[in-house]
Chains A and B, each alone.
Chain A
Amino acid sequence: MRKITALQVFTLYSLSMYTTFTAFLINPLASNSKYSSLLASLIGPILAWILIYPALKVTKAKPDQFIIVYGHELVGKWLHIICMLMIVIVNLVLGATTLRQMSDFLLTEYLIGTPSWAVLLLFSLTVAYAVYSGISTIFRASQGIFLLSALAYLLIPIFASSEVNAAMIPAFFTHLDMKHFGDGLYLNLAMFGEIAFLFLLRPYLKTPDKSYRSLLGAVLFAVFINLTHLFLVLTSFGPEVTSNMSYPDLELIAFIQTGSFLQTGDPILIILWLTSLFVKICFTLFMSAIGLAQLVKVMDHRPFALPVTAFTTMLSIILVRTQVELNELVSGKLPGLLIVCEIVIPIIYWIGLFIRNLTHKHKEQRT
């Protein structure tokens, strides 16, 4: 059962967080937070790591059992079912959103004219295979690709550094705005708060306490990559131009001239983003599959792997009609829902645990 190492936790969450951020979050951040986005992207993730502490604490009560199985003892049957269903649905929506963002990116930039169902079908088949294979496959897959991916992400700023407009740098200090900062914090909190879902799988973790520390490592590493990319994008294009670009990081890479061998390296970004997003989507879908399986008292997630993937793929097609609607969902409603599931629900369970421990103590004292 205990298969996932702290290092694997670090690699999966690092990959997931810096890819999602650089691929899809720079644009809403630039339009909502402007120059405050840099500070928000520094504080937000660390705050998220602190706020998910209740999730770790709650799952400590029965470390060898899934909270989905025993959670009803803490908050009652119906509240537990509602909370867990919310988490399952949020993970499905998160997976569908990421899938839609990825397919939109491919269809608008590289595969113009290709039917979206064909693009999604191909990707979903690989996702279904990984989800079916299980959690250790997903984590091990992330471990294998981490080094190459991280190296590429660390090298991009070095190559693109010539585009920096140094005159913009003081604006990161002089144009700080509390409202903008709050907007950026909200987005970052929601995205980085996804680390809380890890503790739903606590029995799979080899060293859960060490994993909490390695989550901090993953957060800090992702923050470093995110900040370098965000800084480069903002200083190269400015917040106004950036907010009008669909994929600012892609535009940044398009500026890189790799010499006489390749004219431009931006199509390589497909591979880079795809591999990391793959890991993230697999994890969210696995969460949904195992959540559903345990809610209906089936201990094996595999019968749910294909239906969940198929459903998410369909959902990604019908979830929103246009890119504008997608942006609205990603920077408006979805983060709120995520924060509820990542931070509020663990706090409810924590309070439930606290009350249960208190009553338990009273009973012991009476006897």
Chain B
Amino acid sequence: MSPWGRKKRMQDKNKKVSAKETGHPPNTEWPVLETDVSDLKPRLNWFKKQFSNCSDIIFREFTLPSGQSCALIYFNGMIDQNSLQHFILQDLLTVASETEDIYKTLFERKSLSVSNYTITVDLNECLTHILSSCASLIIDGDRRMINFEVASYATRSIEETPNESIIRGSRESFIEDLPTNLTILRRHLKTPALKTESIVVGRKTQTPVVISYIEGVCKPELIAELKRRLSYIQIDGIVNSYYIEEFIKDNPYSPFPQVEYTERPDTLIASLQEGRVAILLNGTPVCLLAPVTLTMLMQAPDDYSMWFIAASWIRITRYIFLLISLLLPSLYIAITTFHPQMIPYPLLITIASSREIVPFPVIYEAFIMEIAFEALREASIRIPKSIGQAVSIIGALIIGTAAVQAGIISAAMVIIVSLTGIASFIMPHYDLGIAIRILRFPVMILASMFGLYGIACGLIFLYIHLVNLKSFGVPYLSPFTPLVKDDLVDTVIRLPWTMMRTRSPLTSNNRHRVARNARGWVRPKGENE
């Protein structure tokens, strides 16, 4: 049975529902060879038919000293030629010249030096192995085929991630190669409880997806739920982790991220220890973590590598700037348009005088500036690095100053938009920043129509949405609502590890993670040194 019963379920489903009804034709890309054959020729022809017009496939036909015709099939550049030459071909020729029954020697006594191989009689399975960087050996006269796992291809070296930089802590990051990422994980978590269950997703890409968790720490129902959701994914290809994320998240229409992502092994390991589940994919350094809450998205790896009071202060700042990022332009619009009595008189004069020559209402002014800022931000990602900084400076300083001097925009609005822009960069999670950036605009419109009342209604709507939102059954606003007292120690503030002794009951049944006497070496007061 295939992992997590998907195959059986799909077979059952296919029996009931025709391809026409589902809109998805059954997988007919790899036609099965009509008869089970042990001859080399028909099998080789079948493979050649499958790999027709593939310039990188190699069919290496040769005859053993014992007289059997053989063929090795593999993709050029995907396997280690040295291993193929020395440990497969050379051994094979030696073994064949020394033994009478080559089949028994190969398939039963397993006399080759290469130990990492699988034997199959299914041509489709063999095809999958070839596509997954194996070299497949077919011998005339026997149905069995050997798939040697001698993969070797160029991968990026392990470097520091540019997207999740850290002051103090590990510089290691994941790369695009899944086995390397699993090795990194295994190297740091030396426990047999670390489980890595694999599934293949993507009809054409055949992307290996690994679910990783710590057995006994992670809730079994969470693992089962994740497997259930993954088993439903039917798509041609998985190119990056967001493909998976979109399929498994609870509310696909919510702007808020419901799965966390990271490129950092230390973040992943810490999350696994909290009882969360990780999803690793081949071809991307970005791993997914579930479940996630809003407070988790406001945490940065640095929070745990500095003094807890400093970390708490930075976190509080982050929350303040989250509100600034969402509300500052709206508050400015609402107060200047509907509630100017709130502004102290000297400040009101300053704002009014700066707006005197501006021909637009505040809302237009705010929209022009916000959209210009969004354009600058988007451009800075696309522009080549060598000129990106210059363009940013030109955009921010020269255009901004010119717009103020020309009387199109007020100086106060430039300050508001700049501060909002900076605030949106403070968010540790990029997707959360995007959500806030998008939501800022409807709140601005409400503020321009109804003042503070509009903002309040917008916030209430947003709040109800967040209260409703769940990530794998975990409420998005926990531990605030519903209240989880034990988890409050690591939210807006972070207390020292001696006070964060337990894991969240929402993600783990195994609560204890720090011993009660972890600082037991401290002498009681009054005791002599």
Residues of chain A touching chain B, judged by Cβ–Cβ distance below 8 Å, are 5, 7-8, 106, 110-111, 114, 118-119, 122-123, 125-126, 129-130, 133, 137, 140-141, 143-145, 260-265, 267-268, 270-271, 274-275, 278
Residues of B within 8 A of A278 (CB): 460
Q: Given that A130-B464, A143-B481, A144-B480 are known contacts, is A122 also in contact with B343, CB under 8 Å in the complex?
A: no
Residues of B within 8 A of A261 (CB): 344
A144 contacts B338, CB within 8 Å?
no
* Interface size band for B: 20 to 34
B338 contacts A262, CB within 8 Å?
no
Q: How far is the CA of A110 from the CA of B341 in the complex (A)?
A: 11
What are 7 pairs between A and B in contact, CB < 8 Å? A118-B449, A126-B460, A133-B467, A144-B463, A262-B343, A267-B338, A267-B341
A133 contacts B468, CB within 8 Å?
yes
Closest to A130 in B: B464
Min CB gap A266→B, angstroms: 8
Q: How far is the CA of A291 from the CA of B452 in the complex (A)?
A: 34
Residues of A within 8 A of B460 (CB): 126, 274-275, 278
Min CB gap A101→B, angstroms: 14
Among B453, B461, B482, point to the contact of A110 (Cβ < 8 A). Answer: B453
Q: Given that A111-B451, A119-B453, A264-B341 are known contacts, is A143 also in contact with B483, CB under 8 Å in the complex?
A: yes
Q: Given that A5-B482, A143-B483 are known contacts, is A137 also in contact with B468, CB under 8 Å in the complex?
A: yes
Q: How far is the CA of A126 from the CA of B459 in the complex (A)?
A: 10
Q: How far is the CA of A275 from the CA of B461 in the complex (A)?
A: 10
| Shortest beta-carbon contacts, A-B, top 10 | A144-B481, A267-B339, A143-B481, A271-B456, A274-B456, A140-B481, A126-B461, A130-B464, A126-B460, A263-B344
Q: How far is the CA of A5 from the CA of B485 in the complex (A)?
A: 14
Q: How far is the CA of A118 from the CA of B454 in the complex (A)?
A: 11
Task: Tell me if B's interface is mostly helix, strand, loop or mixed.
Answer: helix
Q: Is B78's beta carbon under 8 Å from chain A?
A: no
Residues of A within 8 A of B461 (CB): 125-126, 129
Q: How far is the CA of A123 from the CA of B468 in the complex (A)?
A: 18
Q: How far is the CA of A133 from the CA of B338 in the complex (A)?
A: 32
Closest to A261 in B: B344
Residues of B within 8 A of A143 (CB): 480-483
Q: Is B521's beta carbon under 8 Å from chain A?
A: no
B339 contacts A141, CB within 8 Å?
no
Q: How far is the CA of A324 from the CA of B284 in the complex (A)?
A: 67
Q: How far is the CA of A271 from the CA of B330 in the complex (A)?
A: 14
Q: How far is the CA of A5 from the CA of B483 in the complex (A)?
A: 10
Min CB gap A242→B, angstroms: 22
Q: How far is the CA of A8 from the CA of B450 in the complex (A)?
A: 31
Contact with A along B433-459 (1 / 0, CB 8 A): 000000000000010011111111101
B467 contacts A141, CB within 8 Å?
yes
Min CB gap B339→A, angstroms: 4
Which of A110, A126, A130, A260 neighbours the largest number of chain B CB atoms within 10 Å of its CB? Answer: A126
Among B454, B457, B467, point to the contact of A140 (Cβ < 8 A). Answer: B467
For the A-B complex with A126-B461, A265-B342, A267-B342 known, give 18 more contacts whose Cβ atoms are closer than 8 Å. Answer: A5-B482, A7-B483, A8-B482, A118-B449, A118-B450, A126-B460, A129-B461, A129-B465, A133-B464, A140-B482, A141-B463, A144-B480, A260-B344, A262-B342, A262-B344, A263-B345, A264-B342, A267-B341
Min CB gap A286→B, angstroms: 13
Which of B450, B453, B455, B457 neighbours the largest number of chain A CB atoms within 10 Å of its CB? Answer: B453
Residues of A within 8 A of B483 (CB): 7, 143
Q: How far is the CA of A110 from the CA of B482 in the complex (A)?
A: 34
Number of A-B contacts (CB under 8 A): 95
Residues of A within 8 A of B123 (CB): none
Q: Is B329's beta carbon under 8 Å from chain A?
A: no
B338 contacts A141, CB within 8 Å?
no
Q: How far is the CA of A125 from the CA of B480 in the complex (A)?
A: 25
A144 contacts B477, CB within 8 Å?
yes
Q: How far is the CA of A118 from the CA of B451 in the complex (A)?
A: 13
Q: Is B291's beta carbon under 8 Å from chain A?
A: no
Residues of B within 8 A of A145 (CB): 463
Q: Is B257's beta carbon under 8 Å from chain A?
A: no
Residues of B within 8 A of A271 (CB): 452, 455-456, 459
Closest to A273 in B: B456
Which of B335, B446, B482 neighbours the largest number of chain A CB atoms within 10 Å of its CB? Answer: B482
Q: Is B475's beta carbon under 8 Å from chain A?
A: yes
Q: How far is the CA of A263 from the CA of B344 in the complex (A)?
A: 5
Q: In B193-244, which residues have CB < 8 Å from any A CB?
A: none
Residues of B within 8 A of A123 (CB): 457
Among B348, B451, B455, B467, point to the contact of A144 (Cβ < 8 A). Answer: B467
Residues of A within 8 A of B451 (CB): 110-111, 267
Q: How far is the CA of A278 from the CA of B481 in the complex (A)?
A: 17
B467 contacts A275, CB within 8 Å?
no
Min CB gap B394→A, angstroms: 35
Contact with A along B480-523 (1 / 0, CB 8 A): 11110000000000000000000000000000000000000000
Q: How far is the CA of A195 from the CA of B461 in the complex (A)?
A: 26
Residues of B within 8 A of A130 (CB): 464
Residues of A within 8 A of B468 (CB): 133, 137
Residues of A within 8 A of B449 (CB): 118
Min CB gap B227→A, angstroms: 27
Q: Given that A140-B475, A144-B477, A262-B344 are known contacts, is A126 also in contact with B457, CB under 8 Å in the complex?
A: yes
Residues of A within 8 A of B456 (CB): 270-271, 274-275
A110 contacts B339, CB within 8 Å?
yes
Among A8, A260, A262, A270, point to the contact of B453 (Cβ < 8 A). Answer: A270
Q: How far is the CA of A141 from the CA of B460 in the complex (A)?
A: 9
Closest to A272 in B: B456
Residues of B within 8 A of A125 (CB): 457, 461
B464 contacts A268, CB within 8 Å?
no
Contact with A along B244-263 (1 / 0, CB 8 A): 00000000000000000000
Residues of B within 8 A of A7 (CB): 483
Min CB gap A276→B, angstroms: 11
Min CB gap B320→A, angstroms: 14
B344 contacts A122, CB within 8 Å?
no
Q: In B14-46, which residues have CB < 8 Å from any A CB?
A: none
